[in-house]
Amino acid sequence: MDLFYRGFDRSSPLSSGAKHLTAAAERMTVSILNSFDYLPDAVWQEVQKVLSPDSLWALALVLAGWFIASVIGGLIGAAVNGILLVYGLADLWERAGALWDSLRKWCMGWYEASTEAQLDAAGAHFAQVMSIGGIAVLEVVLTHKAFKLAEGPLRRRFPAPEWLRRRFDEATQKRRRLAEQKEPRRSQGSSEESKRSRAKAEEPRRPGGVTDALVGVTQLHGAQQLAQDFPTVPVVAGLLGVASAVGVTWWALSTSDRRKP
C-alpha cells in the first residue's frame, strides 16, 4: 500500500475507494504516533490508557472515513460513505462534525501530506487538540457503543498494516525515554520549586490567583461537558439529507460497477 495514495478509479469505485480510505487511515495513524513526542506528560498518561494498536487503527478508519465522506466529498466521498455506512457509523460521524473547527488543521495535514515530515507536523497539531480537552472527547469516541460494535468488523474488513504494531511500540518507547530524560531535571529543580511554593503559599491571597484557578476549572469543565454531550447531540436534519444523497450516489455507483463485465 502506498502511504500517500489519494487516487480514485471511477470504473471501480468501491475497490479504489477502499484503497483510498486505507491509505488515508494509515497517514492518520502515523500522524497520531508522531504526536506522542509533543503531548504534555499528563495528556500522554491518558492517551496510553485508551489507545492500543487495534483501537488506534479502528479509530483511524472511522475518522478518515468521516473526513473523506463529509469534507472531501465528490465521488470518492460517496464511495467511502457507502463502504462504511453498513457499519452503523452515521451517529459517530455526526458527532465528529461538531469538532471540525478543532480538527481542521490536523485533518488537512495528514490527508494532504506527501512526506513523513508533513505527517510529523500533523502530529503536532493532533497533540495541540489533545492538550486543550480533546482527550476527553477521544475517550468518549473510543467507548461509544457504535464504535465498539464496528471496531471488530472494521478491522477484519480492513486489516491493520504490518508495520503498525512495530511503529506503535517504537513511538511508545521513544516517548517513555523522553519522560525519563525529563525526570532528572525535575529532581534538580525540585528544591528551588519547593522554596518558591512555600513562599507563594505564605503570601496573602490575591484576586488574580482566584481568577486563574476559576479559569482552569471552567476550561476543564467545558471539555468534560463536551465529552458528556458528545453521544447525545440531536441529529441535524441537514446532515441527514446529505447522508441520504450520498447513499443514493453510492448505490448508483455500485450498481454501475456490478453491471460492468
pLDDT at 196: 61
pLDDT at 175: 94
Residues with Cβ within 8 Å of 175's Cβ and at least 6 positions away in sequence, in order, are: 36, 37, 39, 44
Q: How far apart are CA 2 and CA 19, in angstroms?
A: 9
Give long-range contacts, CB 8 A cutoff, 24+ apart: 225-232.
Answer: 226/133, 226/136, 226/137, 227/136, 227/137, 227/139, 227/140, 228/140, 230/95, 230/98, 230/137, 230/140, 230/141, 230/144, 231/91, 231/95, 231/140, 231/144, 231/145
pLDDT at 119: 97
pLDDT in tens, the chain (261 residues): 689 999 999 999 989 999 999 999 999 999 999 999 999 999 999 999 999 999 999 999 999 998 999 899 999 999 998 888 778 776 676 666 666 777 889 999 999 999 999 999 999 999 999 988 888 888 888 988 889 999 999 999 999 999 999 999 999 999 999 888 876 655 555 555 555 655 554 444 333 333 333 333 334 344 444 444 443 333 223 323 333 333 333 444 444 444 444
Q: How far apart are CA 77 and CA 4, in angstroms?
A: 17
| Residue 173: strand, helix, or coil | helix
Judge whether 66 and 96 are in contact, CB under 8 Å: yes
